[in-house]
Amino acid sequence: MLKSLLSRLDPRRTHPNTPPATEPAPTPPPEAGTSSPHPEKHPTPSSPSADSNTESSPESKPESGSSLERENENEDQSPPEEALGGAGSSTSEAVDLEFGGRHHQGLMTPGGIEVTPTSVHLGEDWRRTLWIGEFPDEPQDGLFEALYASPDTRDTDISLHIQPRETERTLTALENQLEDLEADLQYLGEKHRASARGVRADLEDYQELYDVLRNTPTRAFDVSMYLSTHAKTEDALRSRVDAVGSVARRAPVNLAPILPRWQQQQALQAGSPFGVDALAESMDTSTPMLGGAVGAMFPFVSGAFSEPGIEYGTYALNESPLVVDRFERETGYCMLVIGQLGAGKSFSTKLQLVRRAMHDSQTVLVMLDPLEGFASVNQALGGERITVGGRRGFNPLELSPTPEDVLESVPDLDPWAEQVAWVLGFFETFFEAVALNPLEGRTQTLRRAVQETYEQAGITRDPQTHARESPTIRDLLRVLEALQDNPEAYGYVSSGEQSNVQRDAQSLLTDLRPSFREGGDLSHLASPTDFDLDAPVLYLDLHQEEGARSRGETTLLMQVLFNAVYERAKQSDKRVVFVIDEAHYLLSEAGSLSFLETAVRHSRHYDLSLQFLTQTGGEFVLTPEAKTIGRLCSMTLIHRVNEEASELADWFGLNAREVEWVRSAKAGNDEDGYSEALLGIDGEVWFPLRVRASDYETSVL
């Protein structure tokens, strides 16, 4: 509202609802082969009347229902002869592009241009420029996001000319307006006219504006704005300009774009990098507004995020690169990537891995993939492929020593308790999903057997013992056999205790032996782990297993592999990026969640970045542990998802504009050349993002 009031103070402009007082004569194009460094200046017109759904020419009062479409249909009609400089002139002439006394040729622009009533032809491109005649009365932050980010406007240049107004001159004009309003209010009040209410409201608004300018640092500005669109053909240009005009007129932009007929050369110059509003020489192009309204027009001054790291995409509102290093985050190094099938989450992750490898060859990259989606990245980076199954061993009971500096910096860290909890979680998943006989009341007997197995290997709560060779599941089976034979030797003194322990031990052995015996389906999980992190790139391939085994077995193997990488990351002096595709396998099992939460919480102490890929954000709100995992991830990349707007807002703390961006985000395709997502950093700021790959990166992926 204050912006609207300011515009009424400018003696050169009319009230938005008042038709123009004068009509400027059209500017004739120069003769062919000539230049016009100083175009003829015409009397300054008042601002044309512009409805939010109407575009009109500044040379003529718009008729009811006029539009860009009607202008386009008549664009070939010739103007009066006197407007063209006499008989024999044509409607379009080739001219040299000269402005401000200089020829801008060579690298700057084509050597000549062709001007028509509604466009300019430069080399192979046609251009049409719209002038913004009116702005919304109450602009909100992010006012022009649709103009900066919409696919319909991606080929449009947006130019703003901003000049500060002299505050004293503006205050003087306000004082005069206040005096007039006070007089009107007194007169209407004496006559008991109902219109006095409207005048009183205007008076209060002007008083507020006066106080703001007089008592605060707020300043007023004159602003002119242009939208310049280009295309290869006139038909394509007409279509694009129609789309741009439609976006500009719609809420929340609410602009009044106007087509300056016969002044396209000046409008083009005004929208160019020359920095001069050439159209202002023949008509008044500026609108007065306060600093707050000017600030609302500038979302592109924010969104820059650059630090030594890799590019995650470009900021959708200004295409500036977002360069981030996950290992510079203060809250941890973990990341969520969420998106429905085909939305681009796998492609963006592969791109991050390739860029990370090029940026820092010392970072170890590990991919855990149940569906063979990352095989091409591993091959391109020359990584080691580890197919899970067969004879290669993975030991769920493996415990690696925790570095001394980590133990000193985290006093409450208890690797022994974490390991026992992890092993019990692993077996909980096994009994539930593989043996199909939930652990339930046998948990305490199994816990005692696990502790005894480690103690017999010389491993206790003392961290100094954790460097000793870890036991395996076959060692655990022998302890269970001993418990069954002689429970009294393990501290069970009463007959009732001994009977219960013997029954539990027998039941546990019955469920465990078929899978972990020599030649059993999971015999490779009863051997020492046979891989390390010496290779710079590792690909843990579960594809063959996923096709031949149940979902429960796949989940179990993913838990084992996760633990194997986690234990080795503890010992590595390198940074490790560990990508877990189809993370719902881990998040859906109660047996793994507790350990997973602990691993995420402590991962930064080991320079370990865990990256979870999944199809829905809802998986991170199902349990308290999953919620904690989500909160501990310092980076979140959300591609298009199917969730309701209210759910997205609640889960991730998004506002309405951010939710709409996610719900309408583009999936990657060859035509657009990018996918869209929303990137959250440090839980504080979200960036609308476009993810693009170079031709080389595309060939690699």
Same domain flag for 96 and 50: yes
When pLDDT is averaged across residues 520-526 and rounded to a whole number, the result is 90
Looking at residue 619, its pLDDT comes to 82
**Residues 627 and 592 occupy one common structural domain:** yes
Confirm whether pTM is higher than 0.85.
no
Instruction: Let me know if residue 584 belongs to a domain.
Output: yes
In DSSP terms, 538 is beta-bridged to 366, 384
Residue 15 has a pLDDT of: 37
Which of 588, 614, 633 is the last residue before a domain boundary?
633
Domain match, 362 and 505 both: no
Does any domain span residue 301? no
Model confidence pLDDT, tens digit, residues 640-698: 988 888 888 888 888 888 888 898 898 877 677 889 999 999 887 899 999 999 888 88
Q: What are the tens digits of pLDDT across the range 634-655?
A: 999 999 988 888 888 888 888 8
Q: How far apart are CA 202 and CA 303, in angstroms?
A: 38
Q: How far is CA 404 from CA 408, 419, 605, in A?
A: 6, 17, 11
The CATH number given to whatever domain includes residue 483 is: 1.10.8
Domain residues for the domain of 33 are 2-70+92-165+219-296
Mean pLDDT of 59-74: 38
Q: What are phi and psi of 421, to 5 degrees?
A: -65, -40
In a shared domain, residues 386 and 440: no
CA–CA gap between residue 701 and residue 698 (Å, rounded): 5
Residue 197 maps to a domain: no
Which DSSP symbol is given to 27?
P
Q: Express each pLDDT in 271-291 by its tens digit.
A: 988 889 999 999 999 988 888
- Helices 196-215 and 167-190: crossing angle, nearest 10°? 160
In sequence order, the β-bridge partners of residue 540 are: 368, 386
In a domain, 469, yes or no: yes
Contact (CB, 8 A) for 146 and 167: no
What mean pLDDT, rounded, does the chain reach? 81
**How far is 615 from 174, CA to CA, in rounded Å?**
58
Residue 563 near residue 593 (C-beta atoms within 8 A)? no
Q: How far apart are CA 182 and CA 190, in angstroms?
A: 12
Instruction: Specify the number of domains making up the chain.
Output: 3
Q: Is 76 a residue whose pLDDT tops 50?
A: no
Residue 303 Rama label (left phi>0; alpha psi -120 to 50; beta): left
Q: Which of 276, 274, 278, 275 is nearest to 264 (CA)?
A: 278
For residue range 162-221, what is the model confidence (pLDDT) as tens digits? 999 998 988 998 899 999 999 999 999 888 888 899 899 889 988 988 998 899 988 899
CA gap 429, 37 in Å, rounded? 81
Decide if 68 contacts 245 (C-beta within 8 A).
yes
Amino acid letter, 624: P
> pLDDT tens digit string along 101-154?
444 444 555 557 899 999 999 888 999 999 999 998 777 777 787 777 676 777
- Name the residue among 632, 561, 582 with its Cα closest to residue 398: 561
Let me know whether 103 and 117 are in one domain: yes
pLDDT at 39: 35
In the three-class reduction of DSSP (H, G, I as helix; E, B as strand; rest coil), residue 241 is classed as helix
Q: Output the CA torsion 624→629→634→637 (10° steps).
A: -100
- Do 286 and 137 sit in the same domain of this protein? yes
Both structure tokens of 401: 């020593």
